[in-house]
Amino acid sequence: MQAIEKYRIFAVKYAHHARRSTENFIGGDAHDVPMPLDYFVWAVMGESRTFIVDTGFDPAMAAQRGRTITHSVEDGLKQIGIHADSVDDVILTHMHYDHAGNRSLFPRARYHVQDKEMQYCTGRCMCHHALSHPFEPDDVKAMVERVFEGRVEFHDGDSPITSGLSVHWVGGHSNGLQVVRVNTERGWVVLASDASHFYANIRENRPYPVVYNVGDMLEGFKTVMRLADSPQHVIPGHDPEVLQAYAPHDHETQGWIARLDIAPR
Ligand SMILES: [Zn+2]
Ligand SMILES: [Zn+2]
């Protein structure tokens, strides 16, 4: 039997947003302390294939939404030796503006999304501002164009993409949200993305307030825990703690690019 491929995983922080803890949980937070969000894209690098997980947003979108870009996604990827214009595969965990922007950065990539996410972000739910506000219409339109260009690979539920790498529908936060399971030297890591914004959401079973279906979000916490080898193998989508816990890629990228395939410190 052939060995399962192992990958290196990089978390690349590209933006930041200050906010208070009460905004990060349904029902608020009794402590109401500063609890900022970091914004990441992830790179999964194997022997033969490299996958980019989510594409971030650009400076124009940051200005429009009051976020702060700390390094461009393009520069972050260059730091780890990836040139965006040669990337073949992009996995989008979901279509929110902070995960599906930088529309022209990956001109030759094939995009992996869940059937449910395309249906959700082009369907009747988008008539409601409460559900549509995290989506950017231009990002959605770009995705529709890619469908017609033959550049989208759809997934339905659990889907093996290649040896040691699979996507899994969890829904909840966005109806077609998927997480990415990756085999590494330290075992199976799950890039949970917005299935859990912070470690606290999944560890304390406290849902994040941007949500389509709370029941699916809570079930999603269980799915993520089941897919990961341990709680230390779960990577939340927006927690600044990730950059404290994991070793930096190198001296120059201390504080913004970390290695997730090496056990946390
Ligand atoms: Zn989101
Ligand atoms: Zn997000």
Taking the centre of ligand 1 as the mean of its atom positions, its distance from the CA of residue 16, in whole angstroms, is: 14
Core vs surface per residue 132-167: b (16+ CB within 10 A) or e: eebbbeebbeebeebeeeebbeebeeeeebebbbbb
Q: pLDDT at residue 1 above 80?
A: no
pLDDT score, position 104: 96
CB 151 within 8 A of CB 118: no
Dihedral of CA 247/194/74/78: which sign?
A: positive
Residue 160 in tokens: 């093996």
Helix, strand or coil, per DSSP, at residue 221 = helix
Tens-place pLDDT, residues 51-64: 999 999 999 999 99
Ligand nearest to the CA of 136: 1
Q: How far, in Å, is the centroid of ligand 2 from the Cα of 1?
A: 38
User: How far does the centroid of ligand 2 lie from the alpha carbon of residue 174, in Å?
Assistant: 10
List, for residues 133-170, the tens digit of each pLDDT value: 999 999 999 999 999 999 999 999 999 999 999 999 99
Q: Residue 2 — very low, low, confident or very high, per pLDDT cuts 50/70/90?
A: confident
Q: Which ligand is nearest to the CA of 171?
A: 1
pTM above 0.75, yes or no: yes
